[in-house]
Amino acid sequence: MKAAPLINTAPGLTPAPLYNELAEGPDGGAAFWITTPDEVRIRIGVWPLQGAKGTVLLMPGRTEYVEKYGRAAQDLRARGYATVAIDWRGQGLADRALTDEMTGYVDCYLDYQTDLEAVLAALPALELPGFDAGKPLFLLAHSMGGAIGLRSLHGKHPFRAAAFSAPMWGILLADWQLPLANLVGRITRGTPLDRRRVPGSARETYTLDVPFEDNLLTRDRGMWDYMVRHGTAQHALTLGGPAVRWVATALRETARLRAMAPPDLPCLTYLGTSERIVATRPVYDLMGNWPGGTLVEVPGAEHEIMMELPEVRQDFFDRITGLFDANC
């Protein structure tokens, strides 16, 4: 599978590969490397739209990558929006810190804010036909991206409104597992065990490790096969289980986020009633207190709302862009 052609751009952004045929994203897409202030190279994918109402900054979840959201970018374009998606540090084609590159790792959860700030700073320098950095900017975040996105909303940010899909505002653990995970995180900090993959987690990415039947992501076989094709054709995009350090810092960050009052920003959050990856109670609690926030429960849906059955995806994109339209 060939990457999209590299193009010239403004200083500070370097052309990067984009597997747009694999992503099935809109025509005219391109990708760029961005180097963060702490010298980590991350990647963004951009699907511009001439005359767009605004730009959606799409924040993927753990293990995810730009190309996974090519179809989502098509859905957003059909409703008048350009899309920018991010490869966070440690996943996709961004720099990975560990020798075992299949283990998900971040030193500190706030490092993701460094990535996000670098992306926001780079967008005005982006020279791509049909892309206008001056248009309204909207946040769309899935799973782990939901924690990163929520943290950004507690500071100075450029977003007019936000939408979340199964946000990771808590990790789904049994009552006895939570204190144990926190204890292990403290004990192993700074030791070689800190960077070891969590016992019992797989080295292979989830979609290449389990069958479609009773998977935790989607009820839609076509979307499942779409994700499998990505991992098979471009294995470098994939990621396996998390490191002990990733879990420990994620637990601390989500606990801090739950202790904060939700920001005053128009917000729409989707959550499947069959969710089995993120903790659902924090989603109900935060959305129940969010000024101008609405929670939509999707009967029977799994974790990947944007990869769910066609009627779920249509409702999701119709409603979130309706929110964005109202705040352009």
| % the chain with pLDDT above 90 | 88
Which pLDDT does position 187 carry in this prediction? 72
Say if 3 falls within a structural domain: no
Say what the pLDDT of residue 209 is. 97
pLDDT at 8: 37
Residue 219 lies in domain: 14-326
| Mean pLDDT computed over 268-272 | 98
Identify the pLDDT of residue 184.
Answer: 67
pLDDT tens digits along 200-256: 899 999 999 999 999 999 999 999 999 999 999 999 999 999 999 999 999 999 999
Task: Look at the chain and report how many structural domains it folds into.
Answer: 1
Q: Is 5 a domain residue? A: no
Question: Of 31, 50, 21, whose CA–CA distance to 122 is shortest?
Answer: 31
Say if 2 falls within a structural domain: no
56 and 142 Cβ atoms separated by less than 8 Å: no
pLDDT in tens, 17-68: 999 999 999 999 999 999 999 999 999 999 999 999 999 999 999 999 999 9
Q: How far apart are CA 20 and CA 94, in angstroms?
A: 17
Nearest C-alpha neighbor of 121 from the set 11, 267, 8: 11
This prediction's pTM: 0.94
pLDDT tens digits for 158-190?
999 999 999 999 998 756 566 666 666 677 787
Q: What is the maximal distance between C-alpha atoms in the chain?
A: 53
Tell me how long the chain is: 328
Strands 14-16 and 41-47, sheet pairing: unpaired
- The answer to whether residue 288 sits within a structural domain is yes
Residue 296, domain CATH? 3.40.50.1820
